[in-house]
Structure 1
Amino acid sequence: MEPGNNTRVSEFLLLGFSEDPELQPLIFGLFLSMYLVTVLGNLLIILATISDSHLHTPMYFFLSNLSFVDICFTSTTIPKMLVNIQAQSKAITYTGCITQMYFFLVFVELDNFLLAVMAYDRFVAICHPLHYTTIMNPRLCGLLVLACWILSVLHALLQSLMVLRLSFCRDIEIPHFFCELNQVVQLACFDNLLNDIVMNFSLVLLATCPLAGILYSYSKIVSSIRAISSAQGKYKAFSTCASHLSVVSLFYCTGLGVYLSSAVSHSSRSSATASVMYTVVTPMLNPFIYSLKNKDVKRALLRLLGGKV
Protein backbone atom coordinates (compact mmCIF):
# COMPACT_ATOMS: atom_id res chain seq x y z
CA MET A 1 0.00 0.00 0.00
CA GLU A 2 1.32 3.43 -0.94
CA PRO A 3 1.80 5.79 2.00
CA GLY A 4 0.12 8.59 0.06
CA ASN A 5 -3.08 6.58 -0.18
CA ASN A 6 -3.43 6.08 3.58
CA THR A 7 -5.27 9.35 4.17
CA ARG A 8 -8.55 10.38 5.72
CA VAL A 9 -11.03 11.37 3.03
CA SER A 10 -13.10 14.54 3.32
CA GLU A 11 -16.26 13.09 1.80
CA PHE A 12 -17.96 9.97 0.44
CA LEU A 13 -20.25 9.55 -2.55
CA LEU A 14 -23.66 7.92 -2.01
CA LEU A 15 -24.54 6.23 -5.30
CA GLY A 16 -28.17 5.56 -4.32
CA PHE A 17 -30.44 3.36 -6.42
CA SER A 18 -29.90 4.59 -9.94
CA GLU A 19 -27.74 7.05 -11.85
CA ASP A 20 -30.40 7.54 -14.53
CA PRO A 21 -31.41 11.26 -14.40
CA GLU A 22 -34.92 10.44 -15.63
CA LEU A 23 -35.58 8.22 -12.60
CA GLN A 24 -34.48 10.80 -10.02
CA PRO A 25 -37.81 12.72 -9.88
CA LEU A 26 -39.69 9.44 -9.46
CA ILE A 27 -37.37 8.28 -6.66
CA PHE A 28 -37.60 11.71 -5.00
CA GLY A 29 -41.41 11.74 -5.08
CA LEU A 30 -41.71 8.14 -3.88
CA PHE A 31 -39.38 8.52 -0.91
CA LEU A 32 -40.73 11.95 0.05
CA SER A 33 -44.25 10.48 0.13
CA MET A 34 -43.15 7.49 2.24
CA TYR A 35 -41.22 9.75 4.62
CA LEU A 36 -44.17 12.10 5.14
CA VAL A 37 -46.55 9.18 5.71
CA THR A 38 -44.10 7.65 8.21
CA VAL A 39 -43.68 10.86 10.20
CA LEU A 40 -47.38 11.72 10.17
CA GLY A 41 -48.55 8.20 11.03
CA ASN A 42 -46.13 7.71 13.92
CA LEU A 43 -46.74 11.25 15.20
CA LEU A 44 -50.48 10.54 15.33
CA ILE A 45 -49.81 7.37 17.34
CA ILE A 46 -47.72 9.38 19.84
CA LEU A 47 -50.33 12.14 20.15
CA ALA A 48 -53.14 9.60 20.51
CA THR A 49 -51.39 7.75 23.35
CA ILE A 50 -50.62 11.03 25.14
CA SER A 51 -54.08 12.56 24.77
CA ASP A 52 -56.18 9.49 25.68
CA SER A 53 -56.05 8.49 29.34
CA HIS A 54 -57.21 4.96 28.43
CA LEU A 55 -53.91 4.47 26.63
CA HIS A 56 -51.74 5.40 29.61
CA THR A 57 -50.63 1.79 30.07
CA PRO A 58 -47.25 0.05 29.65
CA MET A 59 -48.26 -1.40 26.26
CA TYR A 60 -48.97 2.03 24.76
CA PHE A 61 -46.05 3.63 26.56
CA PHE A 62 -43.74 1.26 24.69
CA LEU A 63 -45.72 1.80 21.47
CA SER A 64 -45.27 5.58 21.66
CA ASN A 65 -41.54 5.08 22.21
CA LEU A 66 -41.42 2.77 19.19
CA SER A 67 -43.21 5.39 17.08
CA PHE A 68 -40.75 8.07 18.18
CA VAL A 69 -37.82 5.81 17.31
CA ASP A 70 -39.33 5.03 13.90
CA ILE A 71 -39.57 8.76 13.11
CA CYS A 72 -35.92 9.23 14.08
CA PHE A 73 -34.93 6.02 12.27
CA THR A 74 -36.18 7.22 8.89
CA SER A 75 -35.02 10.80 9.54
CA THR A 76 -31.38 9.67 9.68
CA THR A 77 -31.36 8.51 6.05
CA ILE A 78 -34.18 9.79 3.83
CA PRO A 79 -33.79 13.60 4.23
CA LYS A 80 -30.12 13.48 3.17
CA MET A 81 -31.00 11.34 0.16
CA LEU A 82 -33.78 13.76 -0.83
CA VAL A 83 -31.43 16.75 -0.47
CA ASN A 84 -28.81 15.06 -2.65
CA ILE A 85 -31.36 14.27 -5.36
CA GLN A 86 -32.67 17.83 -5.31
CA ALA A 87 -29.15 19.29 -5.41
CA GLN A 88 -28.05 16.71 -8.01
CA SER A 89 -25.18 15.74 -5.74
CA LYS A 90 -24.01 12.43 -4.28
CA ALA A 91 -21.62 13.83 -1.70
CA ILE A 92 -21.76 13.41 2.06
CA THR A 93 -18.96 14.70 4.27
CA TYR A 94 -16.79 12.32 6.28
CA THR A 95 -18.21 13.74 9.52
CA GLY A 96 -21.74 13.59 8.15
CA CYS A 97 -21.28 9.96 7.10
CA ILE A 98 -19.99 8.87 10.52
CA THR A 99 -22.77 10.83 12.24
CA GLN A 100 -25.45 9.31 10.01
CA MET A 101 -24.06 5.83 10.58
CA TYR A 102 -23.99 6.37 14.35
CA PHE A 103 -27.61 7.51 14.64
CA PHE A 104 -28.80 4.85 12.21
CA LEU A 105 -27.23 2.16 14.43
CA VAL A 106 -28.74 3.73 17.56
CA PHE A 107 -32.28 3.72 16.20
CA VAL A 108 -32.20 0.35 14.43
CA GLU A 109 -31.04 -1.28 17.69
CA LEU A 110 -33.68 0.65 19.64
CA ASP A 111 -36.31 -0.79 17.31
CA ASN A 112 -34.87 -4.23 17.96
CA PHE A 113 -34.78 -3.89 21.76
CA LEU A 114 -38.18 -2.19 22.07
CA LEU A 115 -39.85 -5.02 20.15
CA ALA A 116 -38.33 -7.46 22.66
CA VAL A 117 -39.53 -5.33 25.60
CA MET A 118 -43.03 -5.18 24.09
CA ALA A 119 -43.03 -8.97 23.75
CA TYR A 120 -42.16 -9.25 27.46
CA ASP A 121 -45.02 -6.86 28.26
CA ARG A 122 -47.48 -9.07 26.33
CA PHE A 123 -46.03 -12.16 28.06
CA VAL A 124 -46.72 -10.70 31.51
CA ALA A 125 -50.19 -9.45 30.47
CA ILE A 126 -51.35 -12.86 29.18
CA CYS A 127 -49.39 -15.32 31.32
CA HIS A 128 -49.55 -13.37 34.62
CA PRO A 129 -52.62 -11.11 34.29
CA LEU A 130 -53.28 -10.85 38.04
CA HIS A 131 -49.78 -9.52 38.68
CA TYR A 132 -49.52 -7.38 35.54
CA THR A 133 -49.92 -3.96 37.18
CA THR A 134 -47.52 -4.94 39.95
CA ILE A 135 -44.81 -6.29 37.64
CA MET A 136 -45.13 -3.73 34.83
CA ASN A 137 -45.03 -0.70 37.10
CA PRO A 138 -43.97 2.74 35.79
CA ARG A 139 -40.51 2.40 37.34
CA LEU A 140 -39.78 -0.89 35.56
CA CYS A 141 -41.15 0.43 32.25
CA GLY A 142 -38.90 3.48 32.50
CA LEU A 143 -35.88 1.34 33.36
CA LEU A 144 -36.52 -1.01 30.43
CA VAL A 145 -36.66 1.89 27.96
CA LEU A 146 -33.57 3.45 29.54
CA ALA A 147 -31.71 0.13 29.23
CA CYS A 148 -32.69 -0.03 25.53
CA TRP A 149 -31.25 3.46 24.98
CA ILE A 150 -28.02 2.75 26.87
CA LEU A 151 -27.32 -0.52 25.01
CA SER A 152 -28.12 1.04 21.63
CA VAL A 153 -25.97 4.13 22.24
CA LEU A 154 -23.02 2.06 23.49
CA HIS A 155 -23.20 -0.31 20.53
CA ALA A 156 -23.39 2.55 18.01
CA LEU A 157 -20.52 4.32 19.78
CA LEU A 158 -18.36 1.17 19.63
CA GLN A 159 -19.00 0.66 15.92
CA SER A 160 -18.39 4.34 15.12
CA LEU A 161 -15.11 4.40 17.03
CA MET A 162 -14.04 1.26 15.17
CA VAL A 163 -14.70 3.02 11.85
CA LEU A 164 -12.82 6.16 12.99
CA ARG A 165 -9.63 4.11 13.26
CA LEU A 166 -9.82 3.21 9.57
CA SER A 167 -8.17 5.07 6.70
CA PHE A 168 -9.70 5.23 3.25
CA CYS A 169 -8.19 5.23 -0.23
CA ARG A 170 -9.37 6.79 -3.47
CA ASP A 171 -12.42 4.50 -3.76
CA ILE A 172 -14.95 6.48 -1.72
CA GLU A 173 -18.12 5.45 -3.54
CA ILE A 174 -20.77 3.84 -1.32
CA PRO A 175 -23.27 1.82 -3.41
CA HIS A 176 -26.11 2.65 -1.03
CA PHE A 177 -28.49 5.51 -0.26
CA PHE A 178 -26.98 6.05 3.21
CA CYS A 179 -23.74 5.33 5.08
CA GLU A 180 -24.34 1.70 5.94
CA LEU A 181 -21.75 0.28 8.36
CA ASN A 182 -20.68 -2.74 6.31
CA GLN A 183 -20.38 -0.72 3.09
CA VAL A 184 -18.17 1.90 4.76
CA VAL A 185 -15.91 -0.70 6.41
CA GLN A 186 -15.33 -2.41 3.05
CA LEU A 187 -13.87 0.83 1.65
CA ALA A 188 -10.95 0.82 4.11
CA CYS A 189 -7.42 0.83 2.68
CA PHE A 190 -5.88 -1.67 5.03
CA ASP A 191 -6.96 -4.94 6.66
CA ASN A 192 -10.33 -4.45 8.35
CA LEU A 193 -10.49 -7.91 9.91
CA LEU A 194 -10.92 -6.53 13.45
CA ASN A 195 -13.82 -4.36 12.31
CA ASP A 196 -15.47 -7.33 10.60
CA ILE A 197 -15.11 -9.46 13.73
CA VAL A 198 -16.57 -6.80 16.03
CA MET A 199 -19.33 -5.96 13.54
CA ASN A 200 -20.43 -9.56 12.97
CA PHE A 201 -20.13 -10.58 16.62
CA SER A 202 -22.23 -7.64 17.81
CA LEU A 203 -24.75 -8.24 15.02
CA VAL A 204 -25.24 -11.85 16.04
CA LEU A 205 -25.35 -11.00 19.75
CA LEU A 206 -27.67 -7.99 19.54
CA ALA A 207 -29.99 -9.58 16.98
CA THR A 208 -30.29 -13.10 18.40
CA CYS A 209 -30.74 -12.17 22.08
CA PRO A 210 -33.82 -9.94 21.58
CA LEU A 211 -35.21 -12.38 19.00
CA ALA A 212 -34.70 -15.28 21.41
CA GLY A 213 -36.54 -13.29 24.09
CA ILE A 214 -39.42 -12.62 21.68
CA LEU A 215 -39.67 -16.27 20.65
CA TYR A 216 -39.57 -17.42 24.29
CA SER A 217 -42.27 -14.91 25.27
CA TYR A 218 -44.57 -15.98 22.46
CA SER A 219 -44.02 -19.67 23.13
CA LYS A 220 -45.31 -19.06 26.66
CA ILE A 221 -48.13 -16.87 25.32
CA VAL A 222 -49.25 -19.59 22.90
CA SER A 223 -49.20 -22.17 25.73
CA SER A 224 -51.32 -19.89 27.92
CA ILE A 225 -53.81 -19.17 25.13
CA ARG A 226 -54.19 -22.88 24.37
CA ALA A 227 -55.04 -23.47 28.03
CA ILE A 228 -57.99 -21.05 27.84
CA SER A 229 -61.23 -23.05 27.53
CA SER A 230 -63.52 -20.60 25.70
CA ALA A 231 -63.00 -19.60 22.07
CA GLN A 232 -63.91 -16.01 22.93
CA GLY A 233 -61.26 -15.93 25.64
CA LYS A 234 -58.66 -17.27 23.23
CA TYR A 235 -59.56 -14.65 20.62
CA LYS A 236 -59.43 -11.83 23.16
CA ALA A 237 -56.03 -12.97 24.46
CA PHE A 238 -54.58 -13.32 20.98
CA SER A 239 -55.97 -9.97 19.79
CA THR A 240 -53.99 -8.14 22.50
CA CYS A 241 -50.70 -9.19 20.89
CA ALA A 242 -51.71 -9.55 17.21
CA SER A 243 -50.49 -6.06 16.26
CA HIS A 244 -47.14 -6.51 17.97
CA LEU A 245 -46.67 -9.94 16.41
CA SER A 246 -47.35 -8.44 12.97
CA VAL A 247 -44.76 -5.69 13.52
CA VAL A 248 -42.19 -8.19 14.83
CA SER A 249 -42.71 -10.44 11.80
CA LEU A 250 -42.40 -7.50 9.42
CA PHE A 251 -39.25 -6.13 11.04
CA TYR A 252 -37.33 -9.39 11.34
CA CYS A 253 -38.48 -10.92 8.04
CA THR A 254 -37.52 -7.82 6.04
CA GLY A 255 -34.23 -7.46 7.94
CA LEU A 256 -33.41 -11.12 7.35
CA GLY A 257 -34.45 -10.76 3.73
CA VAL A 258 -31.91 -7.95 3.25
CA TYR A 259 -28.99 -10.02 4.46
CA LEU A 260 -30.08 -13.15 2.59
CA SER A 261 -30.55 -11.23 -0.67
CA SER A 262 -27.16 -9.55 -0.33
CA ALA A 263 -25.51 -12.89 0.47
CA VAL A 264 -27.10 -14.63 -2.53
CA SER A 265 -26.80 -11.88 -5.14
CA HIS A 266 -23.49 -10.34 -3.94
CA SER A 267 -24.82 -7.07 -5.39
CA SER A 268 -24.50 -3.91 -3.30
CA ARG A 269 -27.21 -2.19 -5.34
CA SER A 270 -29.51 -5.15 -4.71
CA SER A 271 -28.79 -4.90 -0.99
CA ALA A 272 -29.58 -1.17 -1.04
CA THR A 273 -32.93 -1.81 -2.69
CA ALA A 274 -33.79 -4.63 -0.28
CA SER A 275 -32.82 -2.52 2.75
CA VAL A 276 -35.63 -0.09 1.88
CA MET A 277 -38.03 -2.68 3.31
CA TYR A 278 -36.83 -2.45 6.91
CA THR A 279 -35.45 1.10 6.87
CA VAL A 280 -38.42 2.81 5.21
CA VAL A 281 -41.38 0.51 4.57
CA THR A 282 -41.55 -1.12 8.03
CA PRO A 283 -41.57 2.18 10.02
CA MET A 284 -44.21 3.48 7.59
CA LEU A 285 -46.50 0.45 8.03
CA ASN A 286 -46.22 0.17 11.83
CA PRO A 287 -48.82 2.91 12.59
CA PHE A 288 -51.29 1.34 10.14
CA ILE A 289 -50.83 -2.10 11.71
CA TYR A 290 -51.47 -0.79 15.22
CA SER A 291 -54.37 1.46 14.23
CA LEU A 292 -56.15 -1.08 12.01
CA LYS A 293 -55.84 -4.00 14.43
CA ASN A 294 -56.41 -2.14 17.69
CA LYS A 295 -59.82 -0.73 18.64
CA ASP A 296 -58.39 1.39 21.47
CA VAL A 297 -55.91 3.12 19.14
CA LYS A 298 -58.60 3.66 16.47
CA ARG A 299 -60.90 5.19 19.08
CA ALA A 300 -58.13 7.48 20.36
CA LEU A 301 -57.21 8.57 16.82
CA LEU A 302 -60.85 9.39 16.02
CA ARG A 303 -61.13 11.41 19.20
CA LEU A 304 -57.85 13.17 18.43
CA LEU A 305 -58.95 14.04 14.90
CA GLY A 306 -62.31 15.32 16.13
CA GLY A 307 -64.38 12.42 14.82
CA LYS A 308 -67.24 10.64 16.56
CA VAL A 309 -66.30 7.63 18.67
Structure 2
Amino acid sequence: MSPVTTGGGAPHADEAVPVAPQTLAGLLRTGERPARPGPLAASAAFGWRAMLKIKHVPEQLFDVTVLPVMLVLMFTHLFGGALAGSPREYIQYLLPGVMVMSVAMTTMYTGIAINKDIERGVFDRFRTLPIWRPATIVGYLLGDVLRYSIASVVMLAAGLAIGYRPDGGVAGVLAGILLLIVFAFAFSWIGTMFGLLVRDEKTVMGASMMVVFPLNFLSDIFVDPGTMPEWLQRLVEHNPITRVASAVRGLMDGGWPGTEVAWTLGWSAALVAVFGSLTVRLYNRR
Protein backbone atom coordinates (compact mmCIF):
# COMPACT_ATOMS: atom_id res chain seq x y z
CA MET A 1 0.00 0.00 0.00
CA SER A 2 1.11 3.56 -0.70
CA PRO A 3 2.20 5.38 2.41
CA VAL A 4 0.23 8.45 3.44
CA THR A 5 0.86 11.26 5.85
CA THR A 6 -1.66 11.83 8.54
CA GLY A 7 -0.76 15.15 9.97
CA GLY A 8 -0.65 18.74 8.88
CA GLY A 9 -2.80 18.19 5.84
CA ALA A 10 0.23 17.01 3.79
CA PRO A 11 -0.60 15.26 0.50
CA HIS A 12 -0.33 11.54 -0.13
CA ALA A 13 3.09 10.23 -1.19
CA ASP A 14 1.80 9.23 -4.63
CA GLU A 15 0.40 12.67 -5.41
CA ALA A 16 2.30 15.21 -7.57
CA VAL A 17 4.08 17.80 -5.48
CA PRO A 18 4.09 21.31 -7.02
CA VAL A 19 7.54 22.68 -7.88
CA ALA A 20 8.31 26.36 -7.69
CA PRO A 21 9.24 27.86 -11.09
CA GLN A 22 12.58 29.11 -9.83
CA THR A 23 13.42 25.64 -8.50
CA LEU A 24 12.49 23.97 -11.82
CA ALA A 25 14.62 26.44 -13.75
CA GLY A 26 17.51 25.68 -11.44
CA LEU A 27 17.14 21.95 -12.06
CA LEU A 28 17.03 22.30 -15.84
CA ARG A 29 19.86 24.79 -16.14
CA THR A 30 23.23 23.12 -15.75
CA GLY A 31 25.34 26.12 -16.65
CA GLU A 32 25.42 29.42 -18.45
CA ARG A 33 23.35 29.51 -21.60
CA PRO A 34 25.62 29.84 -24.68
CA ALA A 35 25.45 33.11 -26.51
CA ARG A 36 23.39 33.23 -29.68
CA PRO A 37 25.70 33.01 -32.72
CA GLY A 38 26.06 36.17 -34.74
CA PRO A 39 25.45 36.40 -38.50
CA LEU A 40 29.12 35.86 -39.37
CA ALA A 41 29.56 32.82 -37.10
CA ALA A 42 26.32 31.21 -38.30
CA SER A 43 27.18 31.81 -41.97
CA ALA A 44 30.67 30.38 -41.45
CA ALA A 45 29.19 27.25 -39.84
CA PHE A 46 26.92 26.62 -42.80
CA GLY A 47 29.79 27.38 -45.16
CA TRP A 48 31.81 24.67 -43.42
CA ARG A 49 28.84 22.32 -43.87
CA ALA A 50 28.87 23.01 -47.62
CA MET A 51 32.59 22.21 -47.80
CA LEU A 52 32.10 18.99 -45.83
CA LYS A 53 29.57 17.88 -48.44
CA ILE A 54 32.30 18.23 -51.06
CA LYS A 55 34.60 16.12 -48.88
CA HIS A 56 32.05 13.32 -48.57
CA VAL A 57 30.92 13.48 -52.22
CA PRO A 58 34.06 14.42 -54.19
CA GLU A 59 32.42 13.44 -57.49
CA GLN A 60 30.58 16.76 -57.46
CA LEU A 61 33.91 18.46 -58.22
CA PHE A 62 33.76 17.06 -61.75
CA ASP A 63 32.25 20.31 -63.03
CA VAL A 64 35.16 22.37 -61.65
CA THR A 65 38.03 20.02 -62.58
CA VAL A 66 37.47 17.95 -65.71
CA LEU A 67 34.99 20.26 -67.47
CA PRO A 68 37.18 23.41 -67.29
CA VAL A 69 40.15 21.53 -68.76
CA MET A 70 37.95 20.25 -71.59
CA LEU A 71 36.75 23.79 -72.31
CA VAL A 72 40.26 25.22 -72.39
CA LEU A 73 41.63 22.51 -74.68
CA MET A 74 38.60 22.38 -76.95
CA PHE A 75 38.19 26.11 -77.59
CA THR A 76 41.94 26.70 -77.91
CA HIS A 77 42.58 24.03 -80.51
CA LEU A 78 39.28 24.38 -82.38
CA PHE A 79 39.26 28.15 -82.79
CA GLY A 80 42.87 29.19 -82.17
CA GLY A 81 44.09 28.73 -85.73
CA ALA A 82 41.09 30.46 -87.32
CA LEU A 83 40.83 33.41 -84.91
CA ALA A 84 44.42 34.16 -83.92
CA GLY A 85 46.65 32.26 -86.31
CA SER A 86 47.74 29.64 -83.77
CA PRO A 87 46.45 28.07 -80.54
CA ARG A 88 49.42 29.50 -78.61
CA GLU A 89 48.48 33.05 -79.58
CA TYR A 90 44.77 32.51 -78.96
CA ILE A 91 45.23 31.07 -75.45
CA GLN A 92 46.65 34.43 -74.30
CA TYR A 93 43.29 36.06 -75.06
CA LEU A 94 41.00 33.11 -74.36
CA LEU A 95 42.06 31.72 -70.99
CA PRO A 96 40.89 34.56 -68.70
CA GLY A 97 37.55 34.63 -70.50
CA VAL A 98 37.05 30.86 -70.24
CA MET A 99 37.84 31.10 -66.53
CA VAL A 100 35.00 33.60 -66.17
CA MET A 101 32.64 31.46 -68.25
CA SER A 102 33.35 28.26 -66.33
CA VAL A 103 32.98 29.89 -62.91
CA ALA A 104 29.75 31.62 -63.99
CA MET A 105 28.33 28.27 -65.08
CA THR A 106 29.34 26.74 -61.75
CA THR A 107 27.23 29.26 -59.80
CA MET A 108 24.00 27.50 -60.82
CA TYR A 109 24.84 24.52 -58.59
CA THR A 110 24.27 26.60 -55.46
CA GLY A 111 20.59 26.91 -56.37
CA ILE A 112 20.38 23.20 -57.16
CA ALA A 113 21.85 22.25 -53.78
CA ILE A 114 19.44 24.57 -51.95
CA ASN A 115 16.50 23.15 -53.89
CA LYS A 116 17.51 19.61 -52.85
CA ASP A 117 17.66 20.62 -49.19
CA ILE A 118 14.22 22.20 -49.43
CA GLU A 119 12.79 19.06 -51.04
CA ARG A 120 14.25 16.85 -48.31
CA GLY A 121 12.92 19.06 -45.51
CA VAL A 122 16.37 20.09 -44.28
CA PHE A 123 15.60 23.79 -44.60
CA ASP A 124 12.51 23.38 -42.41
CA ARG A 125 14.79 22.23 -39.60
CA PHE A 126 17.19 25.11 -40.17
CA ARG A 127 14.34 27.60 -39.87
CA THR A 128 13.67 26.41 -36.29
CA LEU A 129 17.20 27.25 -35.15
CA PRO A 130 17.83 30.49 -33.19
CA ILE A 131 20.17 31.92 -35.82
CA TRP A 132 20.27 34.72 -38.35
CA ARG A 133 17.75 33.67 -41.00
CA PRO A 134 19.83 34.17 -44.18
CA ALA A 135 22.85 32.36 -42.66
CA THR A 136 21.89 29.07 -44.35
CA ILE A 137 21.92 30.68 -47.79
CA VAL A 138 25.00 32.83 -47.24
CA GLY A 139 26.80 29.74 -45.92
CA TYR A 140 26.12 27.88 -49.16
CA LEU A 141 27.56 30.78 -51.14
CA LEU A 142 30.65 30.99 -48.93
CA GLY A 143 31.20 27.25 -49.28
CA ASP A 144 31.05 27.53 -53.06
CA VAL A 145 33.95 29.98 -52.99
CA LEU A 146 36.11 26.85 -52.69
CA ARG A 147 34.59 25.49 -55.92
CA TYR A 148 35.31 28.74 -57.76
CA SER A 149 38.90 28.75 -56.51
CA ILE A 150 39.46 25.14 -57.59
CA ALA A 151 38.00 25.82 -61.05
CA SER A 152 40.24 28.88 -61.52
CA VAL A 153 43.40 27.07 -60.43
CA VAL A 154 42.65 24.01 -62.59
CA MET A 155 42.05 26.13 -65.70
CA LEU A 156 45.15 28.21 -65.06
CA ALA A 157 47.25 25.05 -64.74
CA ALA A 158 45.80 23.70 -68.00
CA GLY A 159 46.50 26.99 -69.75
CA LEU A 160 50.10 27.11 -68.52
CA ALA A 161 50.61 23.58 -69.79
CA ILE A 162 49.64 24.54 -73.35
CA GLY A 163 51.45 27.87 -73.53
CA TYR A 164 49.60 30.56 -71.57
CA ARG A 165 52.03 33.09 -70.08
CA PRO A 166 50.51 35.87 -67.93
CA ASP A 167 52.59 39.05 -68.12
CA GLY A 168 51.17 40.18 -64.78
CA GLY A 169 52.99 37.43 -62.90
CA VAL A 170 51.75 35.95 -59.65
CA ALA A 171 50.33 39.25 -58.39
CA GLY A 172 48.30 39.85 -61.54
CA VAL A 173 46.96 36.28 -61.58
CA LEU A 174 45.94 36.40 -57.91
CA ALA A 175 44.25 39.79 -58.39
CA GLY A 176 42.32 38.45 -61.39
CA ILE A 177 41.18 35.31 -59.55
CA LEU A 178 40.16 37.32 -56.48
CA LEU A 179 38.09 39.70 -58.59
CA LEU A 180 36.47 36.73 -60.36
CA ILE A 181 35.54 35.10 -57.03
CA VAL A 182 33.96 38.35 -55.80
CA PHE A 183 31.82 38.53 -58.93
CA ALA A 184 30.95 34.82 -58.76
CA PHE A 185 29.71 35.21 -55.18
CA ALA A 186 27.41 38.03 -56.32
CA PHE A 187 26.32 36.24 -59.51
CA SER A 188 25.43 33.06 -57.61
CA TRP A 189 22.52 34.88 -55.95
CA ILE A 190 20.65 34.48 -59.26
CA GLY A 191 20.87 30.68 -59.11
CA THR A 192 20.02 30.78 -55.41
CA MET A 193 16.87 32.73 -56.17
CA PHE A 194 15.82 30.11 -58.74
CA GLY A 195 16.52 27.39 -56.16
CA LEU A 196 13.91 28.93 -53.87
CA LEU A 197 11.51 29.95 -56.62
CA VAL A 198 10.97 26.72 -58.57
CA ARG A 199 9.95 23.24 -57.41
CA ASP A 200 12.61 20.84 -58.69
CA GLU A 201 16.32 20.86 -59.45
CA LYS A 202 15.92 20.25 -63.20
CA THR A 203 13.91 23.44 -63.50
CA VAL A 204 16.57 25.27 -61.47
CA MET A 205 19.23 24.15 -63.95
CA GLY A 206 17.10 25.06 -66.96
CA ALA A 207 16.24 28.52 -65.62
CA SER A 208 19.87 29.19 -64.69
CA MET A 209 21.08 28.11 -68.13
CA MET A 210 18.68 30.58 -69.75
CA VAL A 211 20.56 33.34 -67.93
CA VAL A 212 24.13 32.03 -68.00
CA PHE A 213 24.42 30.90 -71.62
CA PRO A 214 23.34 34.13 -73.36
CA LEU A 215 25.53 36.20 -71.04
CA ASN A 216 28.56 34.01 -71.72
CA PHE A 217 28.27 33.92 -75.48
CA LEU A 218 27.18 37.55 -75.92
CA SER A 219 30.47 38.72 -74.45
CA ASP A 220 34.13 39.22 -75.36
CA ILE A 221 35.18 35.82 -73.99
CA PHE A 222 35.97 34.32 -77.42
CA VAL A 223 36.50 37.24 -79.79
CA ASP A 224 37.18 40.98 -79.72
CA PRO A 225 33.84 42.85 -79.92
CA GLY A 226 35.39 45.17 -82.48
CA THR A 227 34.79 42.52 -85.15
CA MET A 228 31.04 42.43 -84.43
CA PRO A 229 28.18 44.51 -85.94
CA GLU A 230 27.62 47.81 -84.19
CA TRP A 231 24.26 46.81 -82.65
CA LEU A 232 25.82 43.65 -81.25
CA GLN A 233 28.78 45.58 -79.89
CA ARG A 234 26.34 47.62 -77.77
CA LEU A 235 24.88 44.46 -76.25
CA VAL A 236 28.30 42.99 -75.57
CA GLU A 237 29.59 46.22 -74.05
CA HIS A 238 26.81 46.35 -71.44
CA ASN A 239 27.10 42.66 -70.56
CA PRO A 240 28.48 42.16 -67.02
CA ILE A 241 30.39 39.05 -68.16
CA THR A 242 32.24 41.23 -70.67
CA ARG A 243 33.28 43.62 -67.91
CA VAL A 244 34.54 40.79 -65.70
CA ALA A 245 36.40 39.01 -68.51
CA SER A 246 38.06 42.25 -69.64
CA ALA A 247 39.05 43.11 -66.06
CA VAL A 248 40.50 39.65 -65.35
CA ARG A 249 42.30 39.63 -68.71
CA GLY A 250 43.81 43.05 -68.07
CA LEU A 251 44.99 42.16 -64.55
CA MET A 252 46.60 38.92 -65.71
CA ASP A 253 48.28 40.78 -68.57
CA GLY A 254 49.97 43.06 -66.06
CA GLY A 255 47.84 46.17 -66.60
CA TRP A 256 45.41 48.03 -64.39
CA PRO A 257 42.01 48.14 -66.14
CA GLY A 258 40.54 50.53 -63.59
CA THR A 259 37.32 51.16 -65.52
CA GLU A 260 36.60 47.45 -65.99
CA VAL A 261 37.41 46.67 -62.34
CA ALA A 262 35.05 49.43 -61.21
CA TRP A 263 32.29 48.11 -63.50
CA THR A 264 32.83 44.58 -62.15
CA LEU A 265 32.57 45.71 -58.53
CA GLY A 266 29.54 47.83 -59.39
CA TRP A 267 27.78 44.92 -61.08
CA SER A 268 28.63 42.70 -58.10
CA ALA A 269 27.09 45.18 -55.66
CA ALA A 270 23.99 45.53 -57.85
CA LEU A 271 23.51 41.77 -58.14
CA VAL A 272 23.73 41.30 -54.37
CA ALA A 273 21.38 44.22 -53.73
CA VAL A 274 18.72 43.04 -56.19
CA PHE A 275 18.88 39.25 -56.21
CA GLY A 276 20.11 38.95 -52.63
CA SER A 277 17.09 40.90 -51.41
CA LEU A 278 14.72 38.84 -53.57
CA THR A 279 16.27 35.59 -52.34
CA VAL A 280 15.98 36.52 -48.67
CA ARG A 281 12.39 37.61 -49.18
CA LEU A 282 11.52 34.32 -50.89
CA TYR A 283 13.22 32.36 -48.12
CA ASN A 284 11.31 34.20 -45.40
CA ARG A 285 7.99 33.56 -47.17
CA ARG A 286 8.44 29.79 -47.55
Alignment TM-score, normalising by the size of structure 1: 0.30
Structure with larger Rg: 2
Superposition TM-score, scaled by structure 2 size: 0.32
Greater RCO (CA < 8 Å, at least 6 residues apart): 1
